């Protein structure tokens, strides 16, 4: 496709797609559709999202007079006219709401594998009793009858060049706008003549949710030797535009020998101008986005470390000056081989163009002032999901749509393009510390649960790998539809298993190699929500961030840490001091809390041991790296923290450097 063939008006993609190196069935869809449009600008997509023509909308921020509302509906056999989403123009962007509450967050069972390549995930044939072939062809045939938006983009960082393509019905153009923010788009006048699909193709066909899948969220992943195709049968972008692209990157990494970590990353600059790069991993709801947020303060400027759920006592911390934050990534970071240098540290770059920020914690003005200010008065219109909105009003981060009367949706989101984030740290960055976040329930004599993690634990590389294999989903996860089981759940290997299409063991081996090959990166474990009987929210990770940044490259001496009573928790610092203030011991040694005690702690430790034993068994297959097998077998034999330390002999403590 020659650039000269492209006009500045609406592109009739059918007139020039044939010159691109696209799969034959993609060409057939684009040639048969009555209209195919490819956007040149973001504002075009926002216009189309409201069912309007290019340039019809005045996107001046604060426009009070445009009260546009558009319904993304589809004529569905047997169901008539079905409205899948309502798009409302706000003074500060677009508000997307889904009439069906089940479509407002990711269903953990949405992924189905539609091909015959090796996988540990449910296949289409297993779940539906037939191959995906017929449904796949029906989907392609249906798309041929629709007016379409075809939007080229790159999966992951643009310079990696993993060409991808979205094909979505024009009446669901908001989906394209969301993806364009999340991953970027290639403007139609800039599509290179050598563009080809090496990342994936994302097809969107909402009516099939009702005609084929009983109203459920279903996203079918179909892999080939060259790329992955994602067939999304619902319009909530979480499992498709967001995690579907993540799946494409994980597939690429499997083929090429690297992975995309599920993490946030931030450069933390101390008041003394030292810098620490911290990468925070964990399941959805594990505090990734929060790691890039400024610490939340009380009205008088103090930090509320925690509030005891039994006594209602509060403990606070004076922190006159917090560290300056330069965000690097919010949820996905490519650890591509081309990034890795000689520092001995893992080097990563953001895999996204925007951040899918959950704002369920914001219930009133002033909770997160910087984020609220950016959302209320953004430099350009934003895309909000699951927010209450009056047509023509301002979309407010603390006004969430209700799933039922009096029950707020737990998954309100806003998509923040990186270009709007102040002082972003762009490009590949070497990581000093990798932390792992765990949502913990209140744990005390009347609730003998697994919330026995102290404010921060120091992990050996071998133990850090095990935590990434079991990846606990934890207490009250707001990002996904609730499981009926009350047992502790696992998000799966790497905490990204929900988005991977292949085998667990392959991802486990990749993560192990990543850890072994980066001996200068260190590891900690951090809880959120509760520390024993204390409600802490995300304060533990903010305090740990301040503490670690001030320590900088200094390693702990072995005499400065104690073995945790539960060996899976590694080591506990004997003392944490931040700017002269000592963190109360009850936040470090949970077994010493009056509301719990050693017997409550031991019950929590038992739950962790059983959880690890159950989750790790599935990795003991012939394809597992021999070192990984040794580590897992040591865990099942009740290894001590020092045992784990010796299994991957990285210089973890100060006295091991020589």
The pLDDT value recorded for residue 553 is 82
> pLDDT value at position 657?
53
* Predicted local distance difference test score (pLDDT) of residue 369: 87
pLDDT-based confidence at residue 3 (cuts at 50, 70, 90):
very low
Between CA 568 and CA 596 the distance in angstroms is 19
* Helix, strand or coil, per DSSP, at residue 217: coil
Q: In angstroms, rounded to a whole number, what is the distance separating the alpha carbons of residues 127 and 130?
A: 8
Q: Where residue 372 falls among pLDDT bands split at 50, 70, 90?
A: very high
Q: List the alpha helices (DSSP H) in 358-455.
A: 369-376
Backbone angles phi, psi at 54, to 5 degrees: -60, 130
With bands split at pLDDT 50, 70 and 90, how would you rate the model's confidence at 601?
A: very high
DSSP 268: E
Q: Residue 12 above 80 pLDDT?
A: no
Confidence of residue 105 (pLDDT cuts 50, 70, 90): very high
Whether the per-residue pLDDT at 658 is higher than 90: the answer is no
* Confidence class for position 368, pLDDT limits 50, 70, 90: confident
Q: What would the mean pLDDT of 474-485 be, rounded to a whole number?
A: 58
- Whether residue 6 is predicted with pLDDT greater than 50 in this model: the reply is no
Does residue 17 carry a pLDDT above 90? no
- Residue 647 CA, distance from chain mean position: 30
Q: What is the distance between the alpha carbons of residues 51 and 31, in angstroms, rounded to a whole number?
A: 23
Look at residue 422 in the predicted model and tell me its pLDDT: 86
Is the pLDDT at 475 greater than 90, yes or no?
no
Helices (H), 408-538: 461-470, 504-516
The per-residue pLDDT of the chain, averaged, comes to 92
Angle subtended at Cα 176 by Cα 108 and Cα 146, rounded to the nearest 5 degrees: 100
List the alpha helices (DSSP H) in 257-358: 288-291
CA distance linking residue 182 with residue 344, whole number of Å: 31
Instruction: Provide the pLDDT for residue 11.
Output: 39
pLDDT of residue 444 exceeding 90? yes
From the CB of residue 107, how many other CB atoms can be counted at a distance below 10 Å?
18
Q: What is the pLDDT of residue 125?
A: 97
pLDDT at residue 43 in the model: 95
In contact, 140 and 33? CB cutoff 8 Å: no
Stretch 109-127: mean pLDDT: 96
Segment 113-127 shows an average pLDDT of: 97
| Weakest-pLDDT range from 137-141, 278-282, 390-394 | 390-394
Structure tokens at 522: 């260190």
Give 444's strand partners.
447
pLDDT, one tens digit per residue, over 201-256 is: 999 999 999 999 999 999 999 999 999 999 999 999 999 999 999 999 999 999 99
Is the pLDDT at 644 greater than 80, yes or no? Answer: yes
pLDDT at 193: 83
Q: How many CA atoms lie within 13 A of 49 on its CB side?
A: 31
- For residue range 317-367, list pLDDT tens digits in order: 999 999 999 999 999 999 999 999 888 999 999 999 999 988 988 999 988
- For residue 236, the model assigns a pLDDT of 96
How far is Cα of residue 615 from the mean position of the Cα atoms in its chain?
Answer: 22
Contact 196, 22 (CB under 8 A): yes
State whether residue 549 is helix, strand or coil: helix
Instruction: Give the C-alpha separation, 291 to 278, whole Å.
Output: 9
| The pLDDT of residue 352 | 96
Tokens of 639: 């290894």
Q: What does the pLDDT read at residue 342?
A: 86
Rounded to whole angstroms, how far apart are CA atoms 7 and 189? 7
Q: With a cut of 50, say whether residue 306 has pLDDT above it.
A: yes
pLDDT digits (tens, 9 = 90+) for 501-523: 999 999 999 999 999 999 999 99
Nearest to 524 by CA among 437, 611, 641: 437
pLDDT at position 9, please? 38
pLDDT band at 649 (very low <50, low <70, confident <90, very high): confident
Place of tokens 């079991």: 470
pLDDT value of position 20: 79
d(CA 404, CA 416): 27
Confidence of residue 480 (pLDDT cuts 50, 70, 90): low
User: Over the stretch 151-172, which tens digit does the pLDDT of each residue have?
Assistant: 999 999 999 999 999 999 999 9
Angle between the 24-32 and 133-143 helix axes, to the nearest 10 degrees?
40
Q: What band does 478 get if pLDDT is binned at 50, 70 and 90?
A: low
What are 74-86's pLDDT values in tens digits? 999 999 999 999 9
Type and span of the H or E element at 540? helix 539-551
Q: What is the pLDDT of residue 2?
A: 28
**pLDDT at position 163, please?**
96
Domains of the chain: 3-256 (no CATH), 260-346+431-656 (3.90.228.20)
| pTM for this predicted structure | 0.92
């Amino acid at each position: 496709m020659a650039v000269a063939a492209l006009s500045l008006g609406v592109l009739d993609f059918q007139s020039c797609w044939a010159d691109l190196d696209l799969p034959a069935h993609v060409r057939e869809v684009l040639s048969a559709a009555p209209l195919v449009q490819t956007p040149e600008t973001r504002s075009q997509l926002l216009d189309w999202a409201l069912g309007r023509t290019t340039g019809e909308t005045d996107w001046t921020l604060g426009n009070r007079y445009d009260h546009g509302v558009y319904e993304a509906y589809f004529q569905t056999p047997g169901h008539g006219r079905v409205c899948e989403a309502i798009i409302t123009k706000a003074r500060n962007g677009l508000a997307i709401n889904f009439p069906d509450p089940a479509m407002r967050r990711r269903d953990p069972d949405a992924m189905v594998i539609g091909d015959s390549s090796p996988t540990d995930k449910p296949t289409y044939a297993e779940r539906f009793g037939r191959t995906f072939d017929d449904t796949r062809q029906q989907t392609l045939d249906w798309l041929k009858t629709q007016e379409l938006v075809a939007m080229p983009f790159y999966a992951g960082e643009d310079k990696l060049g993993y060409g991808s393509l979205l094909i979505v019905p024009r009446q669901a153009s908001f989906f394209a706008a969301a993806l364009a923010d999340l991953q970027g788009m290639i403007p139609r006048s800039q599509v290179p003549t050598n563009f080809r699909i090496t990342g994936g193709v994302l097809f969107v066909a909402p009516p099939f949710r009702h005609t084929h899948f009983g109203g459920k969220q279903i996203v079918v992943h179909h892999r080939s030797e060259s790329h992955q195709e994602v067939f999304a049968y619902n319009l909530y972008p979480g499992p498709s535009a967001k995690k579907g692209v993540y799946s494409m990157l994980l597939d690429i990494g499997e083929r090429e020998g690297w992975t995309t970590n599920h993490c946030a990353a931030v450069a933390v600059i101390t008041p003394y101008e030292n810098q620490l790069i911290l990468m925070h991993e964990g399941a959805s709801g594990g505090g990734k986005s929060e790691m890039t947020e400024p610490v939340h303060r009380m009205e008088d400027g103090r930090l509320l470390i925690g509030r005891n759920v039994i006594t209602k006592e509060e403990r606070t911390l004076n922190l006159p000056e917090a560290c300056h934050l330069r965000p690097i990534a919010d949820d996905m970071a490519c650890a591509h081989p081309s990034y890795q240098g000689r520092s001995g540290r893992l080097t990563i770059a953001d895999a996204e163009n925007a951040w899918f920020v959950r704002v369920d914690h914001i219930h009133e003005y002033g909770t997160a002032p910087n984020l609220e200010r950016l959302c209320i008065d953004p430099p350009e219109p934003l895309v909000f999901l699951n927010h209450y909105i009056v047509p023509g009003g301002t979309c407010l981060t603390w006004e969430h749509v209700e799933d039922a009367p009096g029950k707020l949706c737990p998954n309100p989101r806003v998509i923040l393009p990186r270009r709007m984030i102040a002082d972003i740290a762009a490009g590949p960055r070497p990581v000093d510390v990798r932390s792992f976040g765990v949502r913990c329930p209140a744990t005390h004599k009347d609730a003998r649960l697994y919330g026995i993690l102290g404010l921060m634990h120091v992990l050996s590389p071998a133990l850090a790998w095990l935590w990434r294999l079991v990846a606990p989903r934890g207490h009250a996860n707001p990002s996904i539809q609730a499981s009926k089981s009350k047992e502790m759940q696992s998000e799966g290997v790497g905490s990204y298993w929900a988005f991977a299409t292949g085998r667990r063991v392959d991802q486990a081996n990749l993560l192990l190699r990543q850890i072994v090959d980066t001996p200068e990166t260190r590891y900690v474990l951090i809880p959120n929500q509760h520390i024993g009987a204390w409600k802490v929210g995300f304060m533990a990770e903010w305090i740990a961030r301040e503490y670690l940044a001030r320590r900088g490259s200094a390693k702990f001496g072995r005499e400065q840490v104690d073995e945790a009573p539960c060996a899976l928790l590694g080591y506990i610092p004997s003392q944490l001091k931040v700017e002269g203030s000592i963190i109360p011991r009850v936040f470090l040694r949970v077994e010493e809390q009056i509301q719990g005690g050693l017997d409550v702690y031991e019950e929590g430790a038992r739950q962790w041991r059983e959880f690890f034993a159950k989750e790790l068994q599935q990795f003991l297959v012939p394809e597992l790296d021999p070192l990984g097998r040794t580590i897992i077998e040591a865990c099942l034999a009740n290894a001590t923290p020092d045992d784990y330390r010796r299994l991957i002999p990285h210089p973890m403590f100060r006295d091991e450097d020589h």
